[in-house]
Amino acid sequence: MTGRGGRGNRTGVALILALVCVPLVASALDISNRYRSPRNAERKVRASTQLIVLHTTEAPARSSLNKLCDRGEAHYCVTEVGQVYCIVDRDREAFHAGRSMWNGMEDVDKFSVGIECVGYHNKAMPSVQITAIRELVDKLKAMYRITDERVVCHSHVAYGAPNKWQRRRHRGRKRCGMLFAMPSVRRQLGLRLRPAYDPDTRAGRLTVGDDYLRMVLYGGIDTMVAAYGVAKAPDAPKHALSAARKPVTKPAAKKAEAPAKPTSRPTPGGVPKTIAELKTRGYVLKGTVSPANSALKIAGSRWNAADTYYTIRNKVVPGSKIDAAHIEKGMGVWIRK
């Protein structure tokens, strides 16, 4: 569509740009070509489009846009004020995913559209930005016939090579965009479903390298609930309707209410001030956080409970007060005997 050679007059070039880099002109979405990458002409046209990959820039808008433009590292960038920029023509390859794999296919750049969102993987985004991302995703889903489960974040597809911490190729190289896997955020984006499991770790092609990230992507961790509210459970697929319509028994209803019991109970006597005080209250060091031993692996579902404690540099912090993004190497995890 934007190939090189032939009919290279100015009128033809202008027409191509209008058709390719501003594909959603009929919508209310405002897409600018201001940061269109000069690398467009050297990028191959993709043979297929099977995924939409959402990223977070982890940096402010101006520096991110300059870098994305210079290197051609995304198809679109959505700023915190809801402005959408076209970086690389949507049908060409943008080098956004790096070392990546999904369902056994490596180099995700070859079959995906990449959207960079100005912001951070562990912080909520403004509603105007979320609205713009949603509109862009809606249009691309319709254009490429992509289902909700195939709208993923970078951390879904990125993987790492073997290193001193991980002997095998592993999922968990990046947490980029991981908030877009959380049910509360996906609801804001109009996405009812998310990938149910990692096809590459399930098949043994990769191993789990970040247990906390795995729980965000496929488990019950959602740190954006305070900002966006609790997401409703997705509707059951049609083939499961017969099972879903069975009456809910009282025990099942009680089961759904159960998770509040002991996990958030504070320690009697307030927060211990020292390791010595933790010990006198019957706490034991369950493990120490390291790249191979996450807090989730050490404490399980109690990693953020009020009566689980973290120690670092002579400080004691309750699990209920700990920010998952700030759990660091060397932290001790303490649990009552």
Which residue, of 194, 212, 232, is where some domain finishes?
A: 232
Pair 155, 299 in one domain:
no
Pair 224, 299 in one domain:
no
Q: What is the CATH number of the domain that holds 73?
A: 3.40.80.10
Pair 73, 146 in one domain:
yes
Helix (H) or strand (E) holding 66: helix 61-71
Q: Please give the residue range of the domain that contains residue 267.
A: 262-336
8 — phi, psi (to 5°)? -90, 30
Can you give the pTM of this predicted structure? 0.67
Overall number of domains in the chain: 2
Specify which residues 113 forms β-bridges with. 52
Q: Which amino acid is at 10?
A: R
Pair 124, 180 in one domain:
yes
Pair 159, 289 in one domain:
no
CA 249 – CA 97 distance, rounded (Å):
46
Pair 142, 270 in one domain:
no
* 103-162: pLDDT as tens digits: 999 999 999 999 999 999 999 999 999 999 999 999 999 999 999 999 999 999 999 999
- Of the candidates 310, 260, 263, the residue with the CA atom closest to the CA atom of residue 283: 310
Pair 128, 275 in one domain:
no
Would you state the pLDDT for residue 192?
A: 95
Pair 300, 206 in one domain:
no
Residues of the chain with pLDDT under 70: 1-28, 231-269, 301, 323-326
